[in-house]
Amino acid sequence: MKKIAVIGAGIVGITTAFELASLGKEVTVFEQNSATAEEASFANGCVFSPGFVTPWVAPGLPKALLGKLFREHSPVRIGGLGTKELAWISKWRAACKMDSYLVHRSQLHNLASFSDSVFKEISSRLNLDFEHSKGFLVLYRTPKEQKNAERILQTYKEMGVSFEVISAERARQIEPALSEETTISGGLYFPNDQIANCRQFALLLKDECEKMGVRFEFNSNIQPLSAANPTLIQLQSGHTKFDSVVVCAGVSSADLLAPLGIKIPLLPIYGYTLSAAVRQAIDAPLSGVMDDRHKVTISRIGQRIRVSGIAQIGGDPKAHNTAAFNTLYKVLSDWFPGAAKTSDSVQEWKGARATLPEGIPLIGASRVPGVWLNIGHGSSGWTLSCGAARALSNLIDGRLPGTNLIGFGSSRID
């Protein structure tokens, strides 16, 4: 039986381990933390959005974001700019050109749709019980914001996305607790998208992995892979040889691969979330809402509300940006005032989205035999995780991936 090491026990590592074990592989997961889903997969927005999924690249986006950068409640922030960030921004600007955008948009949609079907199949087959709710609503405050969004509607139609263009009245029917004080011009409703608790799903799937014999080595900080022996997993305490290694190490993936001469332009784009207990169910969202102006999502996860947003480039990974949290509190209060207990026990969290300039992940073989990649899922890693894992595992097993993986491979490695 083939021995495979998976580095990282975030949602991508766990789904990958699950798929590989389902194909009969002997899998060991190495994780530097003491538990599953402690980094980017810990308290993300929980929006599982195969319909709305969007790469953070688009024609006109650089100019639009620059125009918002210095506003009090800007969705983008600069924490610091070094050579790494500037090089990444230059590649990202090139990817924002129309031809590049159209290709990446449809690749992402293709993967997200596949992921949705895998996610539903696994959840129902294993009867996994995690917090979830159906439907995702995007809200526009002004006719101008709504008109700007209309440009993407044709693309949604061409890709077969199920969505409704809705009025303010319909938005308030879908989410009856939306504040009357905040003006709605209109919105988009994605009935097949959902809110689902990513960390809870990862923990449940880890249990399923263990039932199938997957071994978990927590508190194991893997050293960068060695060019002399790339499938040798090195810990400070010793080493073990595997037939293959799958790198699912989020923002640390580029450092792990660097000694192999594989250069990946992976940048952490920091985001922030708030989680607070529901104060009054009648005042809370039923599922998920996005404020288009601030690019902030408000999700109902069980008895809690999670508010998520902000894309911050650069800066100290550990430092919390008070202004970013203020924006999250403001957007929550604009749409669902009084819904959450924000005066006590709010969990304020910062995470890093491992993002590639084109806004789509790298899934497939690296150029080094035995070393495989499942990295760079950016702002949609939860949505993409099940599909990326199934496709990669099929490839490793010599099968057809199950989705069109053109564009997700090593041709994009520098």
Ligand X SMILES: Cc1cc2nc3c(=O)[nH]c(=O)nc-3n(C[C@H](O)[C@H](O)[C@H](O)COP(=O)(O)OP(=O)(O)OC[C@H]3O[C@@H](n4cnc5c(N)ncnc54)[C@H](O)[C@@H]3O)c2cc1C
Contact set with ligand X (CB under 6 A): 7-13, 30-33, 37-41, 44-47, 220-222, 248-250, 252, 256, 271-273, 308, 351-353, 377, 379-383
Q: Which of 140/382 has CB closer to ligand X?
A: 382
Do the strands 3-7 and 244-247 form a parallel or antiparallel pair, or are they unpaired? Answer: parallel
Least distance from C-beta 167 to ligand X, angstroms?
26
Least distance from C-beta 242 to ligand X, angstroms?
14
Ramachandran quadrant class, 352 (left: phi over 0; alpha: psi -120 to 50; beta: rest): beta
Least distance from C-beta 181 to ligand X, angstroms?
26
Q: Which of 7/177 has CB closer to ligand X?
A: 7
* Residue number of the CB atom closest to ligand X: 381
Residues 6+ apart with CB under 8 A from 401: 390, 391, 392, 394, 395
Least distance from C-beta 142 to ligand X, angstroms?
24
Q: Which of 324/396 has CB closer to ligand X?
A: 324
Closest CA to 36 of 67, 51, 14: 14
Do the strands 304-313 and 76-78 form a parallel or antiparallel pair, or are they unpaired? Answer: parallel
Report residue 408: phi and psi, to 5°.
-100, 5
Q: Which of 9/118 has CB closer to ligand X?
A: 9
Q: Which of 54/185 has CB closer to ligand X?
A: 54
Least distance from C-beta 147 to ligand X, angstroms?
26
Least distance from C-beta 20 to ligand X, angstroms?
15
Burial class (CB in 10 A: 0-12, 13-18, 19+), 299: buried
Q: Which two tokens stand for residue 346?
A: 């709010």
Residue 162 CA: distances (Å) to CA of 153, 156, 326: 11, 8, 34
Q: Which of 84/172 has CB closer to ligand X?
A: 84
Closest CA to 301 of 327, 274, 271: 274
